[in-house]
Amino acid sequence: MLKESSREKFTPWNIGVFNMEWEKTILITGGAGFIGSHLVRLFVNKYQDYRIINLDKLTYAGNLSNLIDLEGSERYFFLKEDICDAERIRSIFGDYDVTDVIHLAAESHVDRSIEGPMEFVMTNVVGTVNLLQCAKDKWGGEKDHVFHHVSTDEVYGSLGTEGLFEETTSYDPRSPYSASKASSDYFVRAFYHTYGLPIKISNCSNNYGSHQFPEKLIPLMINNIVNQKPLPIYGKGENIRDWLWVEDHASAIDEIFHKGCIGDSYNVGGLNEWTNIELVKYLCKIMDIKLGREVGSSERLITYVQDRAGHDLRYAIDASKLERELGWKPSLKFEEGLEKTVDWYLQNSEWIDQVTSGEYKAYYDKMYGAK
């Protein structure tokens, strides 16, 4: 388990010395979560001249074992903090001389936002505004900084059977989660227009890959197939999501952070639409083969359950601006990425056990029965 290492290392006498050596000190929020951990790893391994500070509250969704391989790196530091804590965040900007921010910390699960929206308002809205204030006060009018806000395509609302979300599509959030993310995007834009804060926003489609908390569709289904538990499909399973491999999202953030235009938004996605039922059936098939089960046996676990309230029908991203302007394209085909993902979960059952103990265990057991 990684230690909270930074406080020991950043004693006042050595902060200045360290800073002379770093090209950038990037504060990555939410780095112990699913996407954040992939991004932190990418940046620490790729950029030898950057100091990366991972600031995370370690909610149920944050797990330091996601970054165990970075333990011991001189360029990586972890701070257990809440982005809503104005005093602490302000002093961190000063003490560590933060030059840039990539902001991912959030409450991220739609179902939880329906159960209780206030936590989403606090972290996603209040926490974001707090970070914006601290960045503005620290950087003054200086332009050689970046505040990159990581957002979602869900801010655009729900599509019918035709069309794609473009950067110019009007926001039309419908769940408490997407409303809180849209609100944070608006604040980020407001800080650009009002105070000249150098911001960038990326709006990405649904991610999948290793280290995703098993309350989201793909890891939940993998876990339940392994344990031969019901596979709950909301409504008729006809809702469509556009899936992107998490490491491709991290590489897109890398491109946008370094080369994107200040003040701009970039959509990120893989043109990879699946209905939920198609996707779950496909997962059942490949997992039956991998687990040496009779093909078709896992499909029998599919259980249609009550639909999610206000369930958005379809998300689909037009990421052509990102390809045209910055040359980014997804690297992996979905079938390949899904297979890698399944293999990771099958080989890391202790990770699942670890993250599904405690608070989540009670919720999971209530929904699917104790293991």
Chain residues binding ligand NAD by CB under 6 A are 29-30, 32-36, 56-59, 61-62, 82-84, 104-108, 123, 127, 150, 152, 181, 204, 206-207, 213
CB of 236 to ligand NAD, least distance (A): 22
Give 220 or 256: the residue with its C-beta nearer to ligand TYD: 220
Candidates 81, 107, 153, 318; catalytic one? 153
- Binding of ligand TYD at residue 314 (CB under 6 A)? no
For ligand TYD, the binding residues in 104-163 under the rule CB under 6 A are 110
Residue 161 near residue 314 (C-beta atoms within 8 A): yes
User: Closer to ligand TYD at the Cβ: 94 or 230?
Assistant: 230
CA pair distance 241, 221, nearest whole angstrom: 15
Of the candidate residues 25, 130, 183, 206, the single one contacting ligand TYD (CB under 6 A):
206
Nearer to ligand NAD, 56 or 318 (CB): 56
Q: Tell me, yes or no, if 167 is annotated catalytic.
A: no
Q: Which DSSP string do the residues of 18-76 spell out, in sequence order?
A: HHHH-SEEEEEETTTSHHHHHHHHHHHHH-TTEEEEEEE---TT--GGGGGGGTT-TTE
Instruction: Let me know how long the chain is.
Output: 371
Sign, Cα dihedral of 214, 154, 131, 10: positive
Nearest residue (CB) to ligand TYD, 220 versus 250:
220
Cβ proximity to ligand TYD: between 199 and 233 the closer is 233
Alpha helices in 97-175 (DSSP H): 110-115, 118-120, 128-139
| Of 44, 161, 149, 156, nearest in space to 106 by CA | 149
Among the residue ranges 5-13, 58-66, 213-221, 295-303, the one whose residues contact ligand TYD (CB under 6 A): 213-221
What are the residues whose beta carbons fall under 8 Å from the beta carbon of 280, sequence distance 6 or more? 217, 221, 231, 233, 237, 302
What minimum distance in Å lies between the beta carbon of 177 and ligand TYD? 7
Q: Please, what is the minimum distance in Å from the beta carbon of residue 156 to ligand NAD?
A: 12
- Kindly name the residue from 177, 208, 345, 364 that is annotated as catalytic: 177
Residues with Cβ within 8 Å of residue 184, at least 6 apart in sequence: 106, 124, 125, 128, 129, 149, 151
Question: What is the C-alpha separation between 28 and 35, in angstroms, rounded?
Answer: 11
User: Is residue 153 flagged as an active site residue?
Assistant: yes
Least distance from C-beta 232 to ligand TYD, angstroms?
4
The CB-of-110 to ligand TYD minimum distance in angstroms stands at 4
Site for ligand TYD in 1-30 (CB under 6 A): none
Residue (of 112, 102, 85) closest to 188 by Cα position: 102
What DSSP element (H or E) covers 99? none
Q: Which does 181 bind (CB under 5 to 8 A by kind): ligand TYD, ligand NAD, none?
A: ligand NAD
CB of 147 or CB of 298, closer to ligand NAD: 147
- Using CA atoms, how far apart are residues 75 and 106, in angstroms rounded to an integer? 24
Residue 39 or 298: the one with the smaller Cβ distance to ligand NAD is 39
Q: Scanning residues 219 to 258, which ones bind ligand TYD (CB under 6 A)? A: 220, 232-234, 239, 241
Least Cβ distance, residue 206 to ligand TYD (angstroms): 5
Torsion of CA 100, 243, 212, 184, to 10 degrees: 40
Residue 63 Cβ vs ligand TYD, minimum distance, rounded to whole Å: 18
Q: Which residue number has the CB closest to ligand NAD?
A: 33
Q: Using the 8-state DSSP alphabet, how is residue 326 labeled?
A: H
| Tokens representing residue 334 in the block | 């979905």
Give phi and psi for 165, each to the nearest 5.
-75, 130
Rounded CA gap, 113 and 265, in Å? 25
Decide if 154 is catalytic.
yes
List residues with catalytic annotation: 153-154, 177
Interface positions with ligand TYD (CB under 6 A): 110, 206, 216-217, 220, 232-234, 239, 241, 276, 308
